[in-house]
């Protein structure tokens, strides 16, 4: 009897020790002892970075329809123009997104233009132009004194499905000009409306 009672006592003590250990383990994994267990999950969700608009992604997200001024498909990419803004200094900045749909690496080399001076711009939007049909003028991308374009360079290219932001700066057409056509590489021409500026 005494032996049986001491075995039952040992089993009860062992069970209590295991239960206590499990309780401490679960409490240790609970995420804190400051009473904010329910709050930490909410804070983590609110602090999660917003991945929209980071310029690079899988191409699944596209700008909202109301922000798209024009879209062109060709050269293995989809080119979207989201803004064409006049700057105070007499410049026009055209910007948007480009998504690689080619299934391979896209470098943008065919967009740098044919001018000898532009060859050092590599994969870029250096060969883009704006055509003012009404004024019968063509505006080229601005460049600095070293021949570097005032535009985006696609360093390392874009992998298949990747999206990147781009911009190109041009001399601004006269104030009366409200529509121009954006052209780059062998992409189809993309008509865009110009903003009045600030």
The answer to which of 31-35, 65-69, 175-179 has the lowest mean pLDDT is 31-35
Q: Are 110 and 75 found together in one domain?
A: yes
- Cα–Cα distance measured from residue 179 to residue 181, given in angstroms and rounded to the nearest whole number: 7
The mean pLDDT value of the chain amounts to 74
DSSP 8-state secondary structure symbol assigned to residue 147: S
Q: Which of 97, 77, 78, 81 is nearest to 180 (CA)?
A: 81
Both 93 and 34 in one domain: the answer is no
Does residue 72 share a domain with residue 167? yes
State which residues form the domain around 104: 65-193
Placement of tokens 């062998």 in the chain: 186
8 Å CB contact between 99 and 111: no
For residues 44-59, give the mean pLDDT: 40
Domain identity same for 89 and 140: yes
* CATH number of domain containing 80: 2.60.40
**Does residue 59 lie within any of the structural domains?**
no
- Residue that wins the pLDDT comparison between 99 and 144: 99
Mean pLDDT of 70-86: 92
Q: In this structure, are 23 and 81 located in the same domain?
A: no
Mean local confidence (pLDDT), 93-119: 85
Tokens of 121: 């711009």
What does the pLDDT look like over 12-50, one tens digit per residue? 555 444 544 444 444 444 444 444 444 444 444 333 334
pLDDT digits (tens, 9 = 90+) for 105-115: 998 888 887 77
Q: Tokens 């994994």 map to which residue?
A: 29
């Amino acid at each position: 009897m005494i032996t049986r009672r001491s075995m039952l006592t040992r089993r009860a003590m062992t069970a209590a020790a295991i239960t206590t250990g499990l309780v401490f383990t679960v409490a240790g994994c609970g995420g804190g002892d400051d009473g904010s267990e329910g709050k930490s999950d909410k804070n983590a969700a609110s602090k999660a970075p917003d991945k929209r608009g980071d310029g690079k992604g899988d191409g699944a997200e596209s700008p909202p329809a109301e922000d798209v001024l024009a879209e062109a498909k060709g050269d293995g990419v989809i080119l979207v123009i989201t803004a064409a803004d006049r700057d105070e200094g007499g410049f026009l900045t055209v910007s948007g997104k480009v998504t690689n749909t080619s299934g391979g690496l896209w470098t943008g080399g065919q967009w740098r233009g044919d001018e000898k001076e532009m060859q050092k711009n590599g994969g870029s939007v250096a060969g883009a132009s704006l055509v003012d049909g009404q004024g019968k003028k063509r505006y080229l991308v601005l460049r600095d004194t070293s021949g570097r374009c005032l535009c985006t360079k696609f360093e390392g290219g874009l992998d298949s499905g990747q999206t990147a932001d781009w911009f190109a700066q041009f001399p601004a057409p006269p104030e009366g000009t409200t529509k121009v056509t954006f052209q780059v590489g062998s992409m189809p021409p993309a008509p865009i409306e110009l903003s009045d500026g600030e």
